[in-house]
Amino acid sequence: MTNQANEPGAEALDLAGKHIVLGLSGGIACYKSAELCRGLVKAGATVQVVMTEAAAQFITPVTMQALSGRPVYSSQWDGREPNSMAHINLSREADAMVIAPCSADFIARLVQGRADELLSLMCLARPLDRVPLLVAPAMNREMYAHPATQRNLAQLQADGACVLGVGVGSQACGETGDGRMLEPDELLEDIIAFFMPKVLKGQRVLVTAGPTYEAIDPVRGITNLSSGKMGFAIARAAREAGAEVTLVAGPVSLATPRGVTRVDVKSASNMLSAVAAHAQSATVFIATAAVADWRPAAASAQKIKKDGSGQTPQLQFTENTDILATVAGLPAAQTGRLFCVGFAAESHDLLENAQAKRLRKKVPLLVGNIGPDTFGQDHNALLLIDAQGSLELPRASKLSLARQLVREIAGRMAACAPTDQKATTP
C-alpha cells in the first residue's frame, strides 16, 4: 500500500501552525501586501491583518479580510474585543509580526516607541522574547538613503527587529533606485527562512548545480538533461539553515535563491575554476552538478557542416578533471575541516554504483538518485550512503528533500566534530 504521507501532495506546508500578524503601514506597496497575505495563507499560516489609517488609503480592509479570511483590525478602540485590549490580545496570539510595507514614518515610530495607533501599540506591547518583529521597508529612494532613516533602521536592528532588505528599480514616483518593498515571493521566502532551524549557522556552504556545456563548435555542444533544481533547492535550504552560501551554477534558467551568492559558469573547466576559487574558504562542499565526464579535445572555431558525403565528423575527446575528487583531496577535506558531499545520478543499480562512487571519490557522504527519474522534475527520491550504510529519503519535492539533506549533513558534521568544537557549535 502506498504511504500517502510520502506523496508529493501530502507534504507539510512551510508555515503550517504559524499565526502571523501582518501589519500594513501607509504606502503604495500595500498592493503587494495582498499577494503576500495570500502567499502566507497558502503556505499554511493563519494571518491576522492590522492596518494603519494611512494604509487604508491605499488598499481596503475588505480586500485584506477576503484574502486572510479574518476580520481586519485598525483601531485600538475596536469594540470586538470584550476587554478593549486589542493590542494585547492580538500580539499575544502571534508567532511573529510582519510589517509590510513599513514606511519611513512607521520605522521612526517603532524606534521612538510610539503607541498612538493600534499597529505601533501592538509592536510595543508584544512579548519580545517570543514574538519576533520583521519589517519590510518601503519608501522613495531619497527617503531610504536619508541619514535619519538609516540611523532608524540600524537602531531597529539593535532593538532586536529583523529588517528585511529592499528592492532596487522603478518607483511609483517615477524615480529609480533603492527603497522598493521586496516582491511578495521574496518576502515569503524570507519569512519561511526565518522560522527554519539554524542547524548550519556559521558554516560556509559551496554548492554546484545544473549541467555543464562542452562546446563542439560555436553552435553545438555536449550537455545533459540536468535542470539544476536539486542544487538550487539545496542552496536555498542551506541558506535557510543559517549558512553563508555560494552557488556555482551551470547553464540553467532558474532564479537565484534569496540570500545566496551565485556564480554562473558554462563548461566543466569553468566550474572547476570557480569551485577552486571558493573551496578554500568553505566548510561544506555539496557537488550536485551533473558535470560532463568528457569534452571535445579541441572545439572547432567554425560550425562543422555536412558536405553531402555521408561521412560523420571525427571528434576526439579528453576527460574532464573530476571536481568532487579534486576538492575531496584538499588538505581541508582530508583533515575534516571541509565536509564533502557527492551526488551520483545513475540509470540502474543505484546502491551498488553509489557505494562504489563514494569509495572512489573518498567522500564521507554520497547522495544517489536515478537520473531519468529526477532530471527536469520537481520531485525526487534520494539514497544517502556513508560508511555506516544507507538511508532512503522517500519521494518528495526537491526542496523538502534538500531540507532533509541539510539536517543530515549538520548531524554528521556535529557527530564528527572535535570535542572542543562541539562545545561551541551553535
CB 168 within 8 A of CB 134: no
Could you tell me how far CA 76 lies from the centroid of its own chain?
A: 37
Q: How many CB atoms lie within 10 A of CB 331?
A: 9
Per annotation, catalytic residue among 30, 123, 173, 340: 173
Q: Cα separation of 151 and 76, whole Å? A: 29
194 φ, ψ (degrees, to nearest 5): -60, -35
Q: What's the Cα-to-Cα distance from 102 to each of 29, 75, 142, rounded to whole Å?
A: 9, 18, 16
98 φ, ψ (degrees, to nearest 5): -120, 120
Q: What pLDDT shows up at residue 171?
A: 87
Q: Is the pLDDT of residue 425 over 50?
A: no
Q: Is the pLDDT of residue 6 over 60?
A: no
Q: How many CB atoms lie within 10 A of CB 173?
A: 13
Mean predicted confidence (pLDDT) in 11-27: 93
Q: What pLDDT shows up at residue 385?
A: 94
Cell for 358? 563514494
229-240 and 398-416 helices cross at what angle (nearest 10)? Answer: 50
Q: At 2, is the pLDDT very low, low, confident or very high (cuts 50, 70, 90)?
A: very low
Active site residue 173: yes
Mean predicted confidence (pLDDT) in 182-193: 97
Q: What is the DSSP letter of 211?
A: B
Strand partners, 207: 247, 286
Least confident of 177-191, 197-211, 260-274, 376-390: 376-390
Proportion of the chain above pLDDT 90, given as a percent: 77
Helices (H), 159-200: 184-195
CB 74 within 8 A of CB 61: yes
Q: What pLDDT shows up at residue 233?
A: 97
Q: What pLDDT shows up at residue 43?
A: 97
SS3 content of the chain, % helix, strand, coil (to 5): 35, 25, 40
Q: What's the Cα-to-Cα distance from 284 to each of 113, 311, 379, rounded to whole Å?
A: 42, 48, 24
Q: Is the peptide bond before 296 cis (omega within 30 degrees of 0)?
A: no
Q: What pLDDT shows up at residue 354?
A: 87
Query: What is the tens place of the pLDDT at every residue in 326-378?
Result: 999 999 999 999 999 999 887 777 888 889 989 999 999 999 987 666 777 88
Cell for 241? 539553515
Give the CA count within 13 Å in the CB-facing half-sphere of 201.
9
Query: What is the tens place of the pLDDT at every residue in 304-322?
Result: 888 888 888 888 999 999 9
Q: What pLDDT shows up at residue 376?
A: 75
* Encoded amino acid at 352, one letter: E
Q: What pLDDT shows up at residue 372?
A: 67
Which of 7, 368, 401 shows the shortest CA–CA distance to 233? 401
Which of 385, 384, 409 shows the shortest CA–CA distance to 394? 384
More confident site: 188 or 12: 188
Asked if domains 15-195 and 204-293+320-422 share a fold, the reply is: yes
Q: Cα separation of 358 and 330, whole Å? A: 16
As annotated, the binding site includes 293, 303, 343, 357, 361
Which of 70, 96, 262 shows the shortest CA–CA distance to 188? 96
Q: What pLDDT shows up at residue 418?
A: 57
Name the CATH superfamily housing domain 204-293+320-422: CoaB-like (3.40.50.10300)
Q: Is the pLDDT of residue 210 over 90?
A: yes
The CATH class of 15-195 is alpha beta
Instruction: Enumerate residues 6+ apart whose C-beta is below 8 A from 244.
Output: 203, 204, 205
Could you tell me how far CA 346 lies from the centroid of its own chain?
A: 27
Q: Is the pLDDT of residue 252 over 90?
A: yes
Q: How many CB atoms lie within 10 A of CB 62?
A: 9
Q: How many CB atoms lie within 10 A of CB 359?
A: 12
Q: What pLDDT shows up at residue 353?
A: 86
Q: Is the pLDDT of residue 4 over 80?
A: no
Q: How many CB atoms lie within 10 A of CB 73?
A: 23
Q: How many CB atoms lie within 10 A of CB 253?
A: 7
Query: What is the tens place of the pLDDT at every residue in 32-78?
Result: 999 999 999 999 999 999 999 999 999 999 999 999 999 999 998 88
Q: What is the mean pLDDT of the chain?
A: 91
Q: Where do the structural domains in the chain lie, given as residue ranges?
A: 15-195, 204-293+320-422
Q: Is 79 exposed, middle or buried (0-12, 13-18, 19+ CB in 10 A)?
A: exposed
As annotated, the binding site for CTP includes 293, 303, 343, 357, 361
CB 199 within 8 A of CB 241: yes
CB 365 within 8 A of CB 386: yes
Q: Is the pLDDT of residue 9 over 50?
A: no
